[in-house]
Amino acid sequence: MRTNSLIPAMSRFLDDDWNNLFEWRNRNYSSNTTTLPSVNVRETGDEFVVEMAAPGMKREDFDIQLDNNTLTIRSEQRRENNEQDENGKYSRREFSYQSFQRSFNLDHQVVDDDNIHATYEDGILRLSIPKREEAKEKPARQIEVA
């Protein structure tokens, strides 16, 4: 019997443990000056799409790595603004530091980890994680009785 629920299908993306997506662990962290970005994950017939809202960043602010089936998304931003008077003394100095890290366990039997692709546009980091051919759902077919 086939269901339309995304949870059982989506759990394959995360080593059969759906709760890992939302579980806060030491490997998921954020600096005090920013919040840990939320992540949307959706499954299509051919891939998983991971979307993370990260406005105000640049492509080079992201570090995305896959190591032993663990996909890690890191970001770090350092900004400094200095205003000095004519004597070289600071009249105002502001600096900020923001960082976060999110990690996900990928099931190597389901995802084609050699072809993961990431884009950043309009404040959204989007990862396309294709499924292995053998993990894609096959359409229902009629079997005739002989």
Domain range for residue 33? 25-133
Torsion of CA 116, 120, 123, 128, to 10 degrees: -20
- Tell me the pLDDT tens digit for each residue of 77-110: 877 777 777 776 766 667 777 888 999 899 888 9
Q: Is residue 85 part of a domain?
A: yes
- Tell me the pLDDT tens digit for each residue of 20-30: 433 334 455 55
Q: Is residue 105 part of a domain?
A: yes
pLDDT at 31: 55
**What is the number of domains present in the chain?**
1
- Tell me the pLDDT tens digit for each residue of 107-136: 888 999 999 999 999 999 999 999 999 988
Cβ 75 vs Cβ 100: under 8 Å: yes
Q: Is residue 61 part of a domain?
A: yes
Q: Is residue 140 part of a domain?
A: no
Q: Is residue 5 part of a domain?
A: no
Q: Is residue 16 part of a domain?
A: no
pLDDT at 111: 92
Q: How far apart are CA 141 and CA 110, in angstroms?
A: 22
Average pLDDT for residues 58-70, to the nearest whole number?
Answer: 93
**Other residues' Cβ atoms within 10 Å of the Cβ of residue 106:** 20
Distances (CA, A) of 72 to 7, 28, 58, 81: 22, 9, 17, 30
- Judged on CB neighbours under 10 Å (0-12, 13-18, 19+), 14 is buried
Distance of CA 73 to the CA centre of its chain: 6
Q: Is residue 59 part of a domain?
A: yes
Report the CATH number that the domain containing residue 125 is assigned in CATH. Answer: 2.60.40.790
Q: Is residue 143 part of a domain?
A: no
pLDDT at 28: 58
| Angle at CA of residue 120, ends 31 and 82, nearest 5° | 50
pTM: 0.66
